[in-house]
Structures are given as structure tokens and as C-alpha cells.
Amino acid sequence: MKKVNRGYRKARYVVYKQTILNPIDHLWTFVGGFLGIGCIAFIQSELHHFNALEKVFLIGSFGASAVLVYGATNSPLAQPRNLILGHTVSAFVGVTVMKTVGQFDVFWLTCATAVSLAIIAMQILKALHPPGGATALIAVIGTTKVKELGFFYVLSPVFTGALILLVIALLINNIPKDRHYPYNPKVSPYMGRRKKYWLNIQRTLGIR
């Protein structure tokens, strides 16, 4: 019981730290979210020419990711590995399920298989990212145009979209002195911006 209470208090503290921010943090959260989703929406409109329903599906998945990478930068689920690998492997699983289980034309079975296998894949790769479940689901419930993309869906719009969110997160989240991304205990508010960027890039690449 003591362990449960300790875990509960720790969870409350994490939530508190992630939601009680300085007003300037809200500004940077807005800028990051605006640029990230704006770029993805523009590319989906101009490159893929998706219709309104297809845009709703895909933007919904990345919108959830934006909440994490711009609003909860220290969350384990928001880190670069989770963002990129979580979306990519989930997209691959979703397309694979659509091309195999989807041939039986049993809607509930296809949806359930895609999401559950995507979760397992993310767990195995240690890259759990909740929006990845939506990415896998979109692959099997999307419109004909989305399904016709086949495994290209993994590359674009999924991988490219996640990469856009990551690049903007690395740029925007590291501008304020007391804000950084990805989470890096070696970064100090008193550290120079150039050194801070370099350390966080190394962290993103898995060097440190």
C-alpha cells in the first residue's frame, strides 16, 4: 500500500510539474504547436491532396503528438525515439494488418489487431507513444486513397510528419533557458544556447 501511495504522489508531482508553467512557456508551446501542425497540414494539402476526412484522420494523430512534444517535453512518451519510432512502427503494423487481416473484411477484427499489435511493437522497441495507436488505426479505417498508399503511408505522411514535429520541437523547445528537449539531465539553465543545442542533438541521436 505504501508503494502505491508513493507512486500516486510521484505521478501527481509529475503532472503538477508539466501543467504549472510560467506564462512564457505557454507562448513557446503555442509557437511549437502552431508551426508543427501548420507545416504538416500544409504538406498534406499540397503534396497528397487529401480530402477533408483524410486530413481529419491524419492531423488527429499528429495533434496528439504535438500535445506531448510541445506541452509535456519531459514526458518519457514525448522523447524523440518514442515520437519517430512509435509512429513509424505503428504505421508499418497498420498497413501490414490492412493487407493481411483486412482481406477477411471483418472491421472490428482488423481494427483491434492493428492497434494491439502496434502497442506490442512499440513496447518491444521501447518506443511507446500513445498517438501511434491512432496511426495504426488510420491505416486500416482510412479512405481508399489512404489505403492505396500502401507501405508508402509509413514514409509519407507518417514518418515525414513525425520528423517535422521533431525538428520544430528541437528548435523551439530549446530557445528558452529553462526549457529543453529532449529531456536531458545534463542541461542547465545557465548553459550557453550553442552548447545546449549540441547536447540535445547528441541526446536525440542516442550519443549521450
Q: What is the pLDDT of residues 115-133, one digit of tens each?
A: 999 999 999 999 999 999 9
> Which of 58-67, 133-142, 143-152, 192-201 shows the lowest per-residue confidence on average (mean pLDDT)?
192-201
The type of residue at 37 is: I
What is the predicted pLDDT for the residue at 59? 79
Q: pLDDT by residue (tens digit) across 10-35?
A: 555 555 555 556 788 899 999 999 99
Cβ atoms < 10 Å from Cβ of 24: 11
Closest listed residue to residue 37, CA positions, set 118, 154, 157:
157
The position carrying cell 491524419 is 58
Higher pLDDT, 182 or 48: 182
Which positions ≥6 away from 36 have C-beta within 8 Å? 62, 66, 69, 70, 164, 165, 168, 169
The position carrying cell 487481416 is 101
pTM: 0.84
> What is the rounded average pLDDT of the residues 43-56?
72
